[in-house]
């Protein structure tokens, strides 16, 4: 599903829409949301008035018409560039969301019409857009599911590749934690009855699109605080520029309005001001590209602050279920015979553990000597909680059992067989290594032990190491006993674990961490996860999870990938870093701009100030124009960076600050000196 | 290395050497540990009993501010009335007159806010009574106010704290009895032994070598001169301040006064380290402030040592440096050091005339007051620095990908609003004030307050407002400032420039203290590292200094370029 990321940042169809929006966004009512750019707009209007004034009555005090027109045009461009940044971010986010939504629009739905309170099995074909919350529809093999809902009856295999990109079909069934279906996915087999869970236009995806479009986009707390700081900077420079007028009058230095406004626009943080909302939208967009639907921009931002990550063991840290890894036969039998016993005991065992025993035996090259006839008449003993063992009874009076050590031991001793200390040692050894021992007996005689182990996902240790470097504590949640849990926790490199976890344990753990001032993220799918998902600062519900879980969390992961949390945290951090570094860059730029414009303002009346013109810009006009042109151009140049985000490196906060300070702080001082000088060499040809 | 430079380095080294143990002592005083001066305790208790103050009652940040502001209003009324009526009160051997209402308004405020901008001359403008009961009194309490506000912020910076930030009156009184008073006595004794007067007699008449008779003002000056420096006040007993031979008789007193004025600002940085057990943070703050000082001091030392090229052109020997406006007994370098120290720490006392400094030195003196956070005034210096820390924490917090937090507390919109407002205030006051006076002068040069029109006149006006806003109190002089325009406009600048920068940090610290404490993790940005120090320095330079660049260009920088690159 990562194919989208490789697409170019600027697609043709997006560009034209963004260009149109850039002009629509010039509306002062929209501009005022961004105080920095709003003041630029006022400056632009003033320049327009000055230009008109010169056309009618040019007394030469404000410079030539051409010069003033150029300044006006550049200011207008600055505004358009800033609007374009926001518009292209919106367009990209929208396009991404639309592509997800498109699949589910206008698909036929088989509505089960109801009469009174009785459902009559009369099918009514309607369009998916007509489905209301609470309606029940039927899906058969081959149907596209028309909208999001919850299965109330039946079981089906479903192809969710349209949403997740994962081609392997998944099973969804009524009841339990895997009852949700998503619009746009395809039923491959069987028939299900589904209850619609959302009103048309109110699905998570619809909400997300609204967030991206700006209709319901709210500024996040950090964005508000940053806007305040930027507004403060803007105010300082308003004061600087307004007071410059009486200063200049005192010094008998006339300053043109164009020069004053140019100085102002150059000094205020237009770079970050123009890119700020684009950065925020791009953050949500990046989440969407990772197939995560966020319910608010705030959630993405909060993800970057997460201190504690709660992860389910199964599926996240370990691959699905336990697997057989070793056969230990007792001294009284051969390995070959023992393995055969194991295979026989597991033939009918449909559990993943049972299957893995047969698989391991195959790898070891074992063959069942027992004839098909014998097997056909065999009685399979299923696992029950009381017997705590399973196995097979063959016609030739052969009873093979595998099960928990103490049960098998008890049966063996009851039948008068010894339970050797050698077996005891193997059993304890396996337990101490975090494995689960299964003891196998033939006619109550101990034959040996099978070792079942949790398989830790490859590469997961590195991911936890990365999280630790970010300062995030990882907590594994498992139903295993504390000993096994501890072993796996150590092996996988998680910092803490909750063993024998009940749903309320998660909740309590979250509350405990939060009481210490920490922010907690978790992922869940079941209805019993819902309270914890709601309590967590970032709750990611799996799309396959129940509706309750999805409502409770503040993000939905379409891929149902438990490791997605790690990606979300990085997206959140990237979002903040991009804002911080571009703010630094923007403010650092002021140094060079001062050195370009201030000498230009006064050089006419105080020629000695040529000494301050360290860039040796050609003339006052070209100096001022070069500075505003640089100021305008830097916005579109940085749009790709704003959309992609500044890379996050887990190298520790101080090292990261040092790195970003050098690149964006020091670079921010240096780049405009070079940029303005280069532009001046060009502009100097005309002014 | 020449002797003059060694003198400067020695002075600074001695200051730091005393400041570290003194900082430890201050930390002990306010954390209630045993100190050598505990015998004063019955006296303090007696004062609280007399005033019916329960000094053990804990206050939150709002109660602290209410206490601080109300007690300051009271002092203002008292000082204003005393100055207005001093001529007819006792202890007036020289028969000096009462002050005009606008001058007493300006003077009362100026001393109340620890600025000590003087639009009068001590010899003729005040009586012994007002020198002691108004000026010296305010020099003590205003310094103690600054220290008390800072200690409240220290308390708020602790880990396990929410509302109880100590008792204002307790902190305030201890600042005087345990810190200001004892050290002032030591300094005063040193000054007396070196010739500073401490007598209630009126003017003395002496006959000079040339045979003229000269009237020399005297008075109980030594004590006042001690607290004027120790409390970073700066208002002199005599008009020319510490350039006066009785106020600063020799190189030794010059050293003592220079050490005294920067002692508490530096000691308070170390006190932070000891008090909060965050020594590394204190070292980083000290490092940044020292680098800040050096970046102002070194250009000044060079400019003053090289002398004035215009004078060199006349064929006059300038091997001693630029000596215009300086005292021969101190020399160019010691005066250069003093001029930077006095401007960065808001003392504002002078031992040379800043009006005659070289243009580069003038720029640096102005920058010292514009940044106002390199060591800074008694208590308030670190408060100003605190605002820059908040802004630096915010920007760098974002840069490492986390909601910014300082000492375990999240910095959000409300704190940013206050910090931005306070950071904004300083350029606002200075630039708007200077713009107003420039406007008035441009339209009506007959107001006549500028003796040097041109760039230098502009520098004088800029300096006056900068000095007021920074609560510094030194003057570029040469400006005719005793008239209603300057008295009233600088009066308001003084009040705003004093109290908002106290209210702001106390409020931010108080709000932060009530927030949930977040334990540190590997992702937390540490604020006690060199990198963060550089960040803070950059924030101060870019925010505080750059805003004044155009104004500096029209003032001292224009002078510089005209002088050196004509």
Residues 6 or more apart whose CB falls under 8 angstroms from that of B423 comprise A232, A236, B387, B388, B391, B543, B544
pLDDT tens figures, B466-484? 999 999 888 887 787 778 8
Minimal Cα–Cα distance from A72 to chain B, Å? Answer: 23
Q: Catalytic residue, from A135, A285, A312, A559: name it.
A: A312
Give me the pLDDT at residue B298, please: 95
Give me the pLDDT at residue B239, please: 80
Above 60 in pLDDT, residue A414?
A: yes
- CB–CB contact A231 B420 (8 Å): yes
Above 70 in pLDDT, residue B199?
A: yes
Q: What is the mean pLDDT of chain A?
A: 83
Alpha-carbon span A180 to A172, nearest angstrom:
7
Query: Can you tell me which residue has the tokens 């079909």?
Result: A169
pLDDT tens figures, B131-160? 889 999 999 999 999 999 999 999 999 888
Give me the pLDDT at residue A553, please: 84
The sign of the torsion formed by the CA atoms of A597, A603, A604, A605 equals: positive
Minimal Cα–Cα distance from B440 to chain A, Å? Answer: 9
Out of A234-238, A492-496, B299-303, least confident range = A492-496
Q: Which segments of A304-441 does DSSP mark as H helices, in order?
A: 335-346, 352-363, 372-376, 405-414, 421-432
Alpha-carbon span A351 to A321, nearest angstrom:
9
Contact between A211 and A147 under an 8 Å Cβ cutoff? The reply is no
Give me the pLDDT at residue A332, please: 81
Out of A489-498, B275-284, B363-372, B376-385, least confident range = A489-498
Out of A37-51, A127-141, B533-547, least confident range = A127-141
Please provide the DSSP assignment of B526-552 as one string.
PSSSHHHHHHHHHHIIIIIIGGGHHHH
CB pairs under 8 A between A and B: 215
Contact between B376 and B384 under an 8 Å Cβ cutoff? The reply is yes
Give me the pLDDT at residue A6, please: 42
Give me the pLDDT at residue A5, please: 43
Give me the pLDDT at residue A9, please: 63
The residue of A220, A238, A247, A512 whose CB has the most chain B CBs within 10 angstroms, and thus the best one to mutate to test that interface, is A247
Residues 6 or more apart whose CB falls under 8 angstroms from that of A173 comprise A151, A154, A155, A156, A179
pLDDT tens figures, A298-329? 888 888 888 898 888 776 777 766 788 888 88
pTM of the model: 0.85
Contact between A552 and A546 under an 8 Å Cβ cutoff? The reply is no
The sign of the torsion formed by the CA atoms of A310, A316, A321, A325 equals: negative
Residue among A265, A222, A273 at smallest CA distance from A241: A265
Average pLDDT for A484-512: 85
Contact between A550 and A556 under an 8 Å Cβ cutoff? The reply is yes
Write the residue in B401, B427, B519 that is nearest to A240 by C-beta.
B427
3-state secondary structure B62-131: HHHHHHHHHHHHHHHHHHHHHHHHHHHCCCCCCCCCCCCHHHHHHHHHHHHCCCCCCCCCHHHHCCHHHH
Q: What is the mean pLDDT of chain B?
A: 90
Comparison of pLDDT for A177 and A120, the residue scoring more? A177
pLDDT tens figures, A264-303? 999 999 999 999 889 988 888 888 888 888 887 788 888 8
Above 90 in pLDDT, residue A380?
A: no
Residues 6 or more apart whose CB falls under 8 angstroms from that of A263 comprise A241, A244, A593, A597, A598, A601, A624
Collect all residues of chain A within an 8 Å Cβ-Cβ radius of residue B535. 657, 661, 665
Above 50 in pLDDT, residue A96?
A: yes
Count the neighbouring beta carbons within 10 Å of the beta carbon of residue B483.
15
CA A380 to chain CA mean position, Å: 47
Across A153-157, A477-481, A544-548, B191-195, which has the greatest mean pLDDT?
B191-195
Collect all residues of chain A within an 8 Å Cβ-Cβ radius of residue B542. 587-588, 590-591
- CB–CB contact A654 B525 (8 Å): yes
3-state class of A314 per DSSP? strand
Q: What is the DSSP letter of A553?
A: S
Give me the pLDDT at residue A217, please: 67
Q: Which segments of A399-522 does DSSP mark as H helices, in order?
A: 405-414, 421-432, 460-470, 482-492, 503-515
Average pLDDT for B57-80: 94
Work out the pLDDT band at B434, boundaries 50, 70, 90: very high
Average pLDDT for A180-204: 79
A317-340 CB burial, b ≥16 within 10 A, e <16 = bbeeebbbbebbbbeebeeebbbb
Active site residue A312: yes
Collect all residues of chain B within an 8 Å Cβ-Cβ radius of residue A610. 561, 565
Residue among A242, A238, A229, A36 at smallest CA distance from B539: A229
Residues 6 or more apart whose CB falls under 8 angstroms from that of A664 comprise A581, A582, A584, A585, A588, B399
Out of A152-156, B35-39, B179-183, least confident range = A152-156
pLDDT tens figures, A361-375? 888 877 666 556 667
Write the residue in A236, A244, A581 that is nearest to B424 by C-beta.
A236
3-state class of A11 per DSSP? coil
Collect all residues of chain B within an 8 Å Cβ-Cβ radius of residue A268. none
Residues of chain A above pLDDT 70, percent: 90
Above 90 in pLDDT, residue B2?
A: no
Give me the pLDDT at residue A215, please: 53
Residues 6 or more apart whose CB falls under 8 angstroms from that of B32 comprise none
Work out the pLDDT band at A566, boundaries 50, 70, 90: confident
Rounded to 5 degrees, what are φ and ψ at B32? Answer: 75, 15
pLDDT tens figures, A666-675? 999 999 999 9
Q: Which segments of B379-412 does DSSP mark as H helices, in order?
A: 380-399
Write the residue in B411, B423, B553 that is nearest to A612 by C-beta.
B553
Tokens at residue B81, please? 């009335």
Give me the pLDDT at residue A286, please: 86
Above 90 in pLDDT, residue B171?
A: yes
Please provide the DSSP assignment of B403-446 as one string.
--EETTEE--HHHHHHHHHHHHHHHHHHHHHHHHHHHHHHH-GG
pLDDT tens figures, B87-134? 888 888 888 889 999 899 989 999 999 988 888 887 888 888 998 899
Contact between B432 and A247 under an 8 Å Cβ cutoff? The reply is no
Give me the pLDDT at residue A678, please: 94
Give me the pLDDT at residue A190, please: 82
Average pLDDT for A59-79: 89
The enclosing H or E element of A47 equals helix A35-56
- CB–CB contact B550 A598 (8 Å): yes
Give me the pLDDT at residue A2, please: 39
Contact between A427 and A527 under an 8 Å Cβ cutoff? The reply is no
Give me the pLDDT at residue A106, please: 66
Residue among A67, A537, A102 at smallest CA distance from A302: A537
- CB–CB contact B408 A579 (8 Å): no
Comparison of pLDDT for A61 and B513, the residue scoring more? B513
- CB–CB contact B435 A249 (8 Å): no
- CB–CB contact A653 B400 (8 Å): yes
- CB–CB contact A608 B566 (8 Å): yes
């Amino acid at each position: 599903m990562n194919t989208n990321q490789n697409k170019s940042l600027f697609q043709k169809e997006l560009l034209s829409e963004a260009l149109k929006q850039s002009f629509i966004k010039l509306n002062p009512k929209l501009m005022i949301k961004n105080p920095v750019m709003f003041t630029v707009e006022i400056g632009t209007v003033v320049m327009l008035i000055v230009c008109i004034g010169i056309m009618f009555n040019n007394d030469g005090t404000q410079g030539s018409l051409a010069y003033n027109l150029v300044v006006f045009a550049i200011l207008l461009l600055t505004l358009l560039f800033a609007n374009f940044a926001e518009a292209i971010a919106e367009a990209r986010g929208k396009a991404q969301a639309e592509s997800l939504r498109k699949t589910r629009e206008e698909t036929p739905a088989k509505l089960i019409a109801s009469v009174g309170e009785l459902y009559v099995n009369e099918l009514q074909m309607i369009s998916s857009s007509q489905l209301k919350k609470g309606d029940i529809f039927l899906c058969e093999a081959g149907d596209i599911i028309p909208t999001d809902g919850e299965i109330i009856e039946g079981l089906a295999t479903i192809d969710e590749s349209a949403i997740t990109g994962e081609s392997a079909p998944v099973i969804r069934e009524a009841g339990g934690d895997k009852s949700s279906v998503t619009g746009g996915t395809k039923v491959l087999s069987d028939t299900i009855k589904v209850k619609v869970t959302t009103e048309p236009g109110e699905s998570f995806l619809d909400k997300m699109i609204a967030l991206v479009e700006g209709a319901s986009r709210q500024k996040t707390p950090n964005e508000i605080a940053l806007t305040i700081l930027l507004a403060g900077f803007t105010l300082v420079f308003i004061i600087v520029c307004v007071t410059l007028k009486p200063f200049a009058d005192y010094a008998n230095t006339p300053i043109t309005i164009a020069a004053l406004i140019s100085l102002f626009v150059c000094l205020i943080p237009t770079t970050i001001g123009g890119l700020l909302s684009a950065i925020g939208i791009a953050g949500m967009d990046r989440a969407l590209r990772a197939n995560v639907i966020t319910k608010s921009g705030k959630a993405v931002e909060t993800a970057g602050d997460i201190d504690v990550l709660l992860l389910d063991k199964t599926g996240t840290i370990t691959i699905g279920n336990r697997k057989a890894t070793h056969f230990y036969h007792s001294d009284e039998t051969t390995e070959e015979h023992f393995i055969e016993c194991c295979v026989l005991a597991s033939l009918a065992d449909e559990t993943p553990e049972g299957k893995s025993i047969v698989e391991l035996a195959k790898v070891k090259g074992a063959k069942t000597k027992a004839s098909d006839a014998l097997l056909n008449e065999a009685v399979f003993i299923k696992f029950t909680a009381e017997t705590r063992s399973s196995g097979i009874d063959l016609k030739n009076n052969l009873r093979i059992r595998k099960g928990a050590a103490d049960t098998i031991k008890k049966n063996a001793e009851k039948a008068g067989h010894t339970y050797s200390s050698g077996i005891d040692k193997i059993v304890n050894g396996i337990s101490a290594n975090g494995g689960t021992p299964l003891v196998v007996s033939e006619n109550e005689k101990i034959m040996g032990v099978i070792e079942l182990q949790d398989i830790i996902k490859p590469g997961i240790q590195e991911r936890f190491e990365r999280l630790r470097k970010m300062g995030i504590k990882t907590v594994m949640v498992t139903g295993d006993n504390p000993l096994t849990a501890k072993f796996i926790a150590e092996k996988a490199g998680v910092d803490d674990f909750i063993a024998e976890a009940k749903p309320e344990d998660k909740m309590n753990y979250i509350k405990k961490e939060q009481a210490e001032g920490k922010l907690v993220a978790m992922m869940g799918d079941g209805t019993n996860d819902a309270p914890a998902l709601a309590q967590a600062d970032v709750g990611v519900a799996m799309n396959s999870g129940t509706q309750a879980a999805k409502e409770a969390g503040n993000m939905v992961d379409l891929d149902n990938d438990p490791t997605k949390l790690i990606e979300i945290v990085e997206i959140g951090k990237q979002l903040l870093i991009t804002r911080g570094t571009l703010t630094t860059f923007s403010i650092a730029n002021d140094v060079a701009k001062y050195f370009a414009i201030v000498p230009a303002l006064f050089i006419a009346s105080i020629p000695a100030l040529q000494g301050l013109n360290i860039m040796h810009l050609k003339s006052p006009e070209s100096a001022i124009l070069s500075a505003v042109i640089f100021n305008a151009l830097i916005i579109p140049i940085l749009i790709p960076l704003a959309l992609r985000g500044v890379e996050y490196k887990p190298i520790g906060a101080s090292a990261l600050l040092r790195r970003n300070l050098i690149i964006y702080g020091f670079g921010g001082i240096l780049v405009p000196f070079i940029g303005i000088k280069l532009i001046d060499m060009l502009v100097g040809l005309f002014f | 290395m020449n002797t003059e430079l060694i003198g400067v380095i020695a002075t600074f080294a001695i200051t730091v050497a005393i400041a570290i143990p003194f900082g430890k002592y201050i930390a002990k005083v306010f954390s209630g540990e045993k100190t050598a001066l505990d015998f004063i305790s019955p006296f303090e208790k007696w004062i609280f009993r007399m005033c019916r103050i329960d000094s053990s009652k804990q206050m939150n940040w709002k109660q602290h501010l209410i206490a601080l502001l109300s007690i300051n209003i009271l002092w203002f009324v008292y000082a204003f009335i005393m100055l207005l009526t001093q001529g007819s009160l006792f202890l007036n051997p020289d028969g000096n007159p009462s002050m005009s209402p606008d001058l007493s308004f300006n003077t009362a405020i100026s001393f109340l806010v620890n600025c000590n901008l003087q639009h009068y001359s001590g010899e003729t403008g005040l009586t012994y009574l007002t020198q002691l009961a108004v000026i010296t009194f305010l020099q003590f309490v205003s310094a103690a106010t600054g220290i008390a506000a800072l200690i409240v912020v220290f308390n708020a910076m602790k880990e396990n704290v929410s509302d109880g930030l100590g008792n204002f009156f307790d902190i305030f009184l201890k600042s005087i009895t345990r810190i200001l008073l004892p050290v002032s006595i030591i300094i005063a004794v040193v000054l007396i032994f070196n010739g500073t007067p401490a007598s209630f007699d009126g003017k003395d008449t002496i006959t000079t070598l040339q045979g003229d008779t000269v009237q020399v003002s005297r008075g109980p000056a030594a004590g006042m001169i001690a607290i004027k420096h120790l409390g970073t006040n700066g208002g002199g007993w005599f008009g020319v301040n510490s350039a006066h031979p009785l106020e600063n008789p020799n190189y030794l007193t010059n050293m003592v006064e220079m050490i005294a004025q920067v002692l508490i600002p530096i000691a308070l940085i170390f006190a932070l380290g000891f008090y909060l057990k965050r020594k590394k943070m204190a070292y980083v703050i000290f490092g940044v402030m020292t680098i800040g000082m050096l970046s102002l001091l070194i250009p000044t030392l060079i400019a003053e040592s090289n002398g004035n090229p215009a004078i060199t052109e006349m064929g006059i020997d300038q091997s001693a440096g630029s000596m215009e406006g300086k005292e021969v007994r101190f020399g160019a370098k010691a005066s250069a050091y003093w001029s930077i120290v006095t401007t960065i720490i808001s003392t504002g006392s002078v031992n040379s005339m800043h009006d005659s400094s070289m243009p580069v030195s003038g720029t640096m003196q102005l920058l010292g007051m514009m940044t106002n956070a390199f060591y800074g005034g008694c208590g308030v210096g670190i408060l100003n620095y605190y605002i820059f820390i908040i802004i630096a924490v915010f920007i760098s917090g974002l840069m490492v990908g986390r909601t910014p937090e300082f000492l375990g507390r999240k910095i959000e919109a409300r704190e940013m609003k206050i910090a931005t407002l306070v950071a904004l205030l300083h350029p606002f006051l200075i630039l708007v004030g200077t713009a107003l006076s420039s406007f008035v002068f441009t339209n009506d040069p007959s107001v006549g307050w500028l003796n040097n029109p041109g760039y230098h006149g502009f520098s004088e006006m800029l300096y006056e407002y900068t000095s007021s806003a920074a609560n510094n109190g030194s003057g570029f002089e040469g400006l005719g400032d005793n008239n209603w325009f300057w008295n009233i406009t600088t009066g308001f600048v003084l009040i705003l420039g004093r109290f908002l920068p106290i209210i702001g940090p106390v409020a931010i610290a108080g709000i932060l203290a009530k927030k949930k404490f977040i334990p540190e993790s590997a992702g937390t940005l540490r604020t006690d590292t060199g990198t963060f120090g550089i960040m803070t320095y950059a924030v101060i330079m870019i925010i505080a200094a750059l805003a004044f660049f155009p104004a500096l260009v029209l003032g001292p920088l224009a002078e510089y370029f005209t002088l050196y690159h004509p």
